[in-house]
Amino acid sequence: MKQYNFAPVSGPLLLVIGISILGVSDSLLLIVWESASVGQFHFIRSIFILCGILLVSRVWGLSLIPRQWTLMVVRTFFMVSAILLYFTAMPLMPIAEAGAGLFTSPIFVLLFSAICLKEPIRPPQFLMVGVGMLGVVLILLPNLGQLTIFHLFPVGAGAMYAIASMLTFRHLSGESPLAILMCFMVGIGIIGGIMTTMFSLFPVPPELVSEARFLFSPWTHVSKDYFLWVGIIAALSLLALVCITRAYQTTKTSQVAIYEYAYLASVGISSYLIWDVLPSLLGVVGILLIIVTGLLINLNRSSADIKQ
C-alpha cells in the first residue's frame, strides 16, 4: 500500500505543529465541559478519532495490530490515567497551569528510573528535580486557600505519563505508532464509558458533583452543538496526534522531545485569545521553572545519548 511521505517537513517542525494544534484543541474543551462528564466526552471523542485512525491506516498502510498485547494494555492504562486526570483538572484552573503539571513528567522519569531501575541521579539532576517541584508549588500557591485534591491531578497525570513514556521507550519501540494510538483511544473510550455508567448507576453526593461536575456527572442528553464541537476537537486532536506520531517516527526522541513545551505556549495563547484567561504571575514563574527543568533534563539525556 502506498506510504505517505511528509518530507521535506522536519520532525521538530511536525512536532511543533502537532503540539500547537493540540493546545488549541484542548482550549476548546471548555466549550463543552459543562454539558457532560469527562468520561462521556472521551467516549464520544474516541468514536470520532477511531474512525479517523481507520482512515489514516488505510492511507498510510500502517498496522493497527499490537505485537505485545500485555505491555500495550499496561501502557494504555497509565496513559489513560494521565489524560483523565489532566482533563478533569482543566476546567478547575488555567489550562497552561494544568499543562505545566502534566509536563512534570521528565522529573518523574528521573525519579522512577532511580527507584525502579537503580539508575544513579547526579547532583545537578537533584537540583533540576528541586527546581521543577518549586515550579509546581508556585502554580498552586495563589489558590492555596481553595486547594483541593483535584488541583493536584495534573501532577498525578505527569507521573502516570512518565510511566507510560518509559514503557513506550523501553518495551514498545517496535510497535506501530498508529497501533499505540488506537489502543489508547479504545482504552480511554471504554474507561470513559464505564466511569459515566458507574456514576449513573451509583450517583455520588451532590457536594462532590458541585465540586467537580465534569468528573462525576452521569450520562447526559447532549445537543447537536455538543456533537459538533466534540467532532471539531476530535478532528484537531487526530491531526495533532498524526503530526506528533510522524515526528517521533522520523526523528530521534531525544532530539524532538524538547519541542513538546510548545504546548504550554500554544495552550496559554489560545486560552487568552478564546477565554481571556491568564495564569497568575506566580503561575507564570512556576510554568517557566517547569519548562526550564524539562528542557535541562531532556538536553542532559541527549548529551548522554551522544556520549554513548
Is the model's pLDDT at 164 over the cut of 60?
yes
Q: How far apart are alpha carbons 103 and 201 in whole angstroms?
A: 35
Residue listed under C-alpha cell 464509558: 193
The model's confidence at residue 77, banded by pLDDT at 50, 70 and 90, is very high
Residue 11 has pLDDT above 80, yes or no: no
- Structural domain span for residue 42: 37-137+148-225+276-307
Distances in Å between the Cα of 49 and the Cα atoms of 4, 45, 271, 293 are 19, 6, 23, 33
pLDDT reading at 21 higher than 70: yes
Q: Which three cell numbers stand for residue 44?
A: 464520544
Query: For residue range 268-287, what is the model confidence (pLDDT) as tens digits?
Result: 888 888 888 888 888 889 88
CA distance 184 to 239: 16
Same domain, 23 and 82: no
Confirm whether 103 is domain-assigned.
Answer: yes
Same-domain check for residues 239 and 296? no
Q: What does the block give as the cell for 212?
A: 467537580
Cell digits of residue 3: 506510504
* 243 plus 181 within the same structural domain: no
Spatial CA neighbour of 137 closest among 282, 273, 275, 292: 282
- The residues, any chain, with a CB within 8 Å of residue 29's CB and separated by 6 or more, are 41, 87, 90, 91, 233
Comparing 21-30, 48-57, 203-212, the range with the smallest average pLDDT is 203-212
Tell whether 156 and 185 lie within a shared domain. Answer: yes
For residues 298 and 199, state if they share a domain.
yes
Residues 171 and 188 in one domain: yes
Q: What does the alpha-carbon distance between residue 268 and residue 284 come to, in Å, rounded to a whole number?
A: 10
Residue 96 within any structural domain of the chain = yes
Average pLDDT score over residue span 174-180: 84
Peptide bond into 66 cis (omega under 30): no
3-state class of 92 per DSSP? helix
Task: For residue 198, tell me if it sits in a domain.
Answer: yes
Residue located via cell numbers 476537537: 233
Contact predicate 158/110, CB 8 Å? no
Average pLDDT, the chain: 85
pLDDT range class, residue 8, cuts 50, 70, 90: very low
Cell 505485537: give the residue. Answer: 67
pLDDT over 90 percentage in the chain: 35
Q: Are residues 221 and 94 in the same domain?
A: yes
Q: Considering the domain boundaries, does residue 22 fall inside one?
A: yes
Percent of the chain whose pLDDT exceeds 70: 90
Has residue 28 been placed in a domain?
yes
Count structural domains, the chain. Answer: 2
pLDDT of residue 198 exceeding 90, the answer is yes
Q: Which residue has the higher pLDDT, 185 or 147?
A: 185
Region 111-116 average pLDDT: 87
Q: Do 65 and 202 share a structural domain?
A: yes
Find the DSSP H helices in the chain: 11-27, 38-60, 69-89, 95-102, 105-116, 123-140, 153-171, 177-201, 206-211, 213-216, 224-250, 253-256, 262-275, 281-307
Residue 84 has pLDDT above 60, yes or no: yes
- In terms of domains, do 114 and 232 share one? no
119 and 85: one domain?
yes
Mean pLDDT of 192-211: 91
Are both 59 and 15 inside the same structural domain?
no
Is there a single domain that holds both residue 269 and residue 283? no
pLDDT at 303: 59
Tally Cβ neighbours within 10 Å of residue 102.
26
Residue 50 located in a structural domain = yes
pLDDT of residue 212: 81
- Strand, coil or helix: 176: coil
Rounded average pLDDT over 151-177? 88
User: Running DSSP on this structure, what letter comes out for residue 103?
Assistant: T
